[in-house]
Amino acid sequence: MPACRRCHIGNDQRGFAVAALTPKSGPMASPAESKTGLAAVTEAAKQAIHAGEGGRGLPPVHLWHPAHCGDIDIVIRRDGVWMHEGSPIGRAELVRLFSTVLRKDADGYVLVTPGEKLSITVEDLPFRAVAVSQRGEVLVFTTDVGDEAEAGPDHPIQVETNPETGEPSPSVRVRADLWARIARPVFYELVEMARIEDGRLTVRSNGEIFALGPVGAGVA
């Protein structure tokens, strides 16, 4: 297996984030060897957009078990903004690409390709559910990176409540162990859709019932 390489994202003259690599040591990498680090992540994600199942552009990251190549200074902020070295990654399409090769392992979140994986920092949850629509009997959430999740057995809605303030923290599973924080306006839409059952606000989707919280406890 080739040695891991440190990588960074630089900014071109237009202020766009672009992938670049800095070898750890040794001679200059040849073009054939240079598909590592963020360059490999970007390339794998681009290929996935064209070849992913159902056209969704999602590669089989659960099947990839490469060497861990360290950390990269990428942070997904609590508000959903992807940062690198303190600056936002300005290209939505690049954020989308990286999101398709994001995975949560036992030791945290990583960007992963068949050749290597790099740890990143996630302040809260990696995605935000920024819209919800009702299609028949199904609630469909749209995330800030363009994924859709149909609430149901495979995509449950969870609402944790702060025991001191009663403030709800709702989320919905997008895929595998990747969840989206439901934005406050979207949660208010759910509350408007909800019915009261046994003193709790609930919504239904795909045959499942999801509790939003007790009536009057910060959700109504």
pLDDT tens track of the chain, all 220 residues? 445 654 444 443 333 333 433 333 334 443 434 444 556 667 766 765 555 444 456 888 899 899 998 998 899 999 999 998 889 998 898 899 899 999 999 999 999 888 888 999 999 999 999 999 999 999 999 999 999 999 999 999 999 988 888 789 999 999 999 999 999 999 999 999 999 999 899 999 999 999 998 876 555 5
List the structure tokens of 11.
């900014």
Query: Contact, 58 vs 48, CB < 8 A?
Result: yes
From the CB of residue 198, how many other CB atoms can be counted at a distance below 10 Å? 8
- Nearest C-alpha neighbor of 153 from the set 207, 217, 92, 195: 207
- Nearest C-alpha neighbor of 125 from the set 74, 174, 54: 174
| C-alpha distance across the termini of the chain, in Å | 56
Per DSSP, helices labelled H in 142-205 are: 184-193
31: left (phi over 0), alpha (psi -120 to 50) or beta: alpha
Half-sphere exposure of 144 toward its Cβ, with a 13 Å CA cutoff?
Answer: 24
φ and ψ at residue 167, rounded to 5 degrees: -70, 125
From the CB of residue 92, how many other CB atoms can be counted at a distance below 10 Å? 12
What are the chain's domains?
A: 6-122 (3.10.540.10), 127-214 (2.30.270.10)
pTM comes to: 0.80
Query: Contact, 120 vs 71, CB < 8 A?
Result: yes
